[in-house]
Amino acid sequence: MKLLPLTVPRRIDGRPRVLLVDHDRAQRYALAELLRSDGCDVQTSSGHESWLALFKSCLSEPAAWVSFVAAVDPDLVLLDIEQPSALATLGAVRRHPLTEHVPVVVVGDATQRRSLQAALVMGAIRLVHRPLTLGGLRPLIDDVLAEAPPRRARTGDERPSFVVH
């Protein structure tokens, strides 16, 4: 077993932190840029080398997502339903006390109706259909964050986290 240190980047005041989980690099980049242009602090698995190592392990071990989400400390997770093990990931994040409070919005297209419905049953707070636009996405993020329970207090701007691998 190996300990993998993860450091949370400093939170940018007043900006919602969105963890974007999408296996498609082009879609992830386009959506991240779209959200950043509207004032969101977007974190993705490709942003940090240590996160990328953990992200890769998460593909085969959904429980590892708990550590990943806890380390990023997002206000909201946008989870692509096509992500490998997306439903297992959602279940692991929902069941763990460190991450159960984090709202998860699942993204997919109309052909994935069963998976999207299963995501709602497993605890996704909302479903979003592709194609995504800023005009539809940012109001959704604001609504979800307004409905979310208050965040737990954090100490300092950075919070190291360790994952057992």
pLDDT digits (tens, 9 = 90+) for 63-116: 677 777 877 888 999 998 887 778 888 888 888 888 888 999 999 887 888 888
CA pair distance 47, 121, nearest whole angstrom: 30
pLDDT confidence band for 163 (50 / 70 / 90): very low
Is residue 25 within 8 Å of 46, Cβ to Cβ? Answer: yes
Is the whole-model pTM more than 0.85? no
Is residue 65 within 8 Å of 93, Cβ to Cβ? Answer: yes
Look at residue 129 in the predicted model and tell me its pLDDT. Answer: 84
Q: What average pLDDT does the structure give for the chain?
A: 75
Q: Which domain holds residue 24?
A: 3-9+16-150+159-164
Structure tokens at 56: 């890769």
Tell me, what CATH number does 73's domain have?
A: 3.40.50.2300
Helices and strands in the chain: count of H runs, count of E runs: 6, 7
pLDDT confidence band for 157 (50 / 70 / 90): very low
pLDDT confidence band for 132 (50 / 70 / 90): confident
Is residue 35 within 8 Å of 76, Cβ to Cβ? Answer: no
Q: How many domains does the chain have?
A: 1
